[in-house]
Amino acid sequence: MSKQQPYLANQLCFAIYNSNRLLNQFYKKSLSPFGLTYTQYLVLLALWEKDGQSLRELGEKLDLASNTLTPLLKRLEDKNYLLRLRPEKDQRQLIVQLTENGKELQIQVEKVLDSCLTEVTFFPADKLREMIKDHQDLAAMLKERN
């Protein structure tokens, strides 16, 4: 890569920041009818993939510390989307499990987000997968160096 003047337009950090900001606005608008924040949606998404995860497992999957995750779980529990359970054999562990309401919400949310994403992005599926992979690779590389 040739040395360029550090203009805003040629900075990867700004491109990612700006895309992230705009995606967050998109998700905020799309999730508001369900009373969900983007981060709450991510928690539910992880549980829709695999229900009954431990707090630790969920934190690792979402890359969130337990002190960040706990209030999110509390709010989702208050909305009757999940339960936080302590197994009898190990009271130190916390298992997060979807309620029926939480399971039913998946269909509604996915329907809205799928139609919204189709309207907003015109990328073919293979391009979206490539973009996701590039961002995952970048995140892994940065995580390794921090």
Question: Hey, where are the domains in the chain?
Answer: 8-112
According to DSSP H, which parts of 32-124 are helical? 38-49, 55-62, 66-78, 100-120
Measured in degrees and rounded to the nearest 5, phi and psi for residue 121 equal -110, 140
What's the pLDDT score for residue 141? Answer: 93
Burial of 113 (0-12, 13-18, 19+ CB in 10 A): middle
> Domain 8-112 carries which CATH code?
1.10.10.10
> pLDDT at residue 47 above 80?
yes
Mean pLDDT of all residues in the chain? 90
Average pLDDT over residues 4-12: 83
Q: What confidence category does residue 2 fall into, taking pLDDT thresholds of 50, 70 and 90? A: low
